[in-house]
Structure 1
């Protein structure tokens, strides 16, 4: 069709901003929690959110140093999050 695709899924910050608008939330008051640095945490970072990486899924603590960004907080699992 001669058009370039427009991606809206993670890590695009567009989907995060759309969700914030739908919930009438503000990025300064929102945290994104995820287990994948390349999708969840990158999406939050690009959308200007604080981020929590949980180590109970895809990414490991060793993966963090290879990324140009860092999660705001790191927890072993969702059950142990205490900053919210």
Structure 2
């Protein structure tokens, strides 16, 4: 595994990527979340969650959202982000 800074976010109009070198709230192993439009289907959004184990083995999990699912998720994130608690 490549050595990462503790936390790195990369984003543009079509891509979001968040990486942690070690997740303090979990197992202290690296995690990465990438979100981008699905290259094979313009009506879907691709999510990739990558976890590394203590030995540096990488485990990828993918998920695909429809536009309606993405809108609902966006609504939840917007609401959560505006909550001052």
The structure carrying a bigger strand percent of its residues is 2
Considering the TM-score relative to the shorter chain, is it more than 0.5? no
Q: Higher relative contact order by CA 8 Å / sep ≥ 6: 1 or 2?
A: 1
TM-score, scaled to structure 2: 0.24
The structure carrying a bigger helix percent of its residues is 1
Q: Which has the larger radius of gyration?
A: 2
TM-score, scaled to structure 1: 0.24
